[in-house]
Amino acid sequence: MADAQRIATRPFAQARLHQALLARSSLWAVCRCGQEAQIDPANWLGQGLRRQPLGALETRLRCQCGARQARLEIRGLSEAPAGPTGGIHVFR
């Protein structure tokens, strides 16, 4: 900038937990092994984590394959997989 002040850098447009609560949206976890599961965020909401970025909550998931982390994503109702799902659970 012209006045030599730094611009604070922040991650742009990180998805947050409260966005999964919007109408026609759902929260899904995807493990590296290919397992997918719909996640109920009620436990995290009870802990006051409503405004947390999804990336900060990924280490709170456990997969049946033994993975201690799974990627979280928000999907619309039409994006739900047709096949079997499950096997990823909220750890804390």
Predicted confidence (pLDDT) per residue in 35-81, tens digit: 999 999 999 999 999 999 999 999 999 999 999 999 999 998 888 77
| Structure-model confidence comparison of residues 72 and 7, the more confident one | 72
Q: How confident is the model at residue 14 (pLDDT cuts 50, 70, 90)?
A: confident
Residue 5 amino acid letter? Q
Whether the per-residue pLDDT at 12 is higher than 50: the answer is yes
Residue 39's closest CA among 28, 51, 24, 50? 28
For 11-21, what is the mean pLDDT?
83
Contact 38, 61 (CB under 8 A): no
What predicted TM-score, i.e. pTM, was given to this entire model? 0.79
CA 48 to chain centre: 15
